[in-house]
Amino acid sequence: MNDVHGWVSVALQVPIVGLFVWFVLKRETSYQRYALRMQESWLKESQERERQVRDFIAESRQRERDFLTEQRSALVAALVAVTDRLSRVETQLAMNTAMLTVHDATVRGTNPETIGTTEEIMDRVLGLPRSG
């Protein structure tokens, strides 16, 4: 009788153990699916963040290039204006020197025509080659 009682006990425990194993396997499968979905979600989010960072860096570099281009244009325009102004100042200085030279020659009693015309004096002051 003990022998039958043992078999009955084992026969009752086998389905319970099978049910437990099935439950554990089902739970593990569910957990793996959840982990896979989380990993895919994380991967998509990570790729989106990387794309956003790349876009941000590209936009920043483009804004920097645009800024530098504007600065270069403004600097070139300023340098052209300064060069033009310096040229006008140089011409005015040469005219003033020529007038002072003629005035000085006249005051000292020298004939202004012997020192040359105003244009010739300006050419000498500016270092231009003599005409004629």
> For residue 130, which of 21, 104, 122 has the smallest C-alpha distance?
122
| Full 3-state SS string of the chain | CHHHHHHHHHHHHHHHHHHHHHHHHHHHHHHHHHHHHHHHHHHHHHHHHHHHHHHHHHHHHHHHHHHHHHHHHHHHHHHHHHHHHHHHHHHHHHHHHHHHHHHHHHHCCCCHHHCCCHHHHHHHHHCCCCCC
**pLDDT(62) > 80:** yes
pLDDT band of residue 118 (cuts 50, 70, 90) is low
Q: Average pLDDT, stretch 113-131?
A: 68
pLDDT at 95: 84
Measuring CA to CA, how many Å separate 11 from each of 1, 15, 24?
15, 7, 21
Overall pTM surpassing 0.85 (yes/no): no
In the chain, where are the structural domains located? Answer: 2-126
Q: Is the pLDDT of residue 77 over 60?
A: yes
Phi/psi at 116 (5° precision)? 110, 170
Predicted local confidence at residue 3, as pLDDT: 73
Q: Which pLDDT score, from 0 to 100, does residue 114 have?
A: 64
pLDDT average, residue stretch 2-30: 84
pLDDT score of 98: 79
Q: Cα–Cα distance between 112 and 99 in angstroms, integer?
A: 10
Written as one letter, the residue type at 118 is T
